[in-house]
């Protein structure tokens, strides 16, 4: 399995876990990118897949920017695929 596919799978798992953790608000979390960065860095294989752990603040920033770009561009790709390819390129 490619590293990008594995990153994609981790993003999907993070999304499912986030929704469970924030079930009381139906997944609404204004600081979602911080939660994702913590989970990805501390509770997943992301650092290993990328070869080294990204700086947390850089990952938070990248996630927020990816969200903005994805919403603005409305690409045909699923968000997990789109984010994974860009995160792998930036941090891998």
pLDDT at 15 over 90: yes
Which helix (H) or strand (E) segment holds residue 87: the answer is helix 79-91
What Cα–Cα distance (Å) separates residue 70 from each residue in 24, 63, 81, 85, 87? 26, 10, 11, 12, 13
User: Is the full-model pTM beyond 0.85?
Assistant: yes
* CA contacts within 13 A on the Cβ side of 16: 6
Q: What is the pLDDT of residues 73-83, one digit of tens each?
A: 999 999 999 99
Q: What is the pLDDT of residues 28-83, one digit of tens each?
A: 789 999 999 999 999 999 999 999 999 999 999 999 999 999 999 999 999 999 99
- Rounded Cα distance between 88 and 4, Å, is 6
- For 24, the token pair is 């009381």
């Amino acid at each position: 399995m490619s590293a990008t596919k594995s990153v994609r799978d981790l993003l999907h798992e993070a999304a499912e876990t986030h929704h469970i953790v924030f079930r009381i608000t139906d997944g609404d979390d204004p600081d979602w990118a911080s939660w994702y960065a913590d989970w990805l860095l501390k509770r997943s294989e992301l650092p290993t897949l990328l070869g080294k752990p990204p700086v947390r603040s850089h990952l938070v920033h990248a996630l927020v920017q990816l969200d903005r770009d994805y919403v603005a561009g409305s690409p045909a790709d699923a968000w997990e695929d789109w984010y994974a390819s860009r995160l792998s390129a930036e941090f891998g």
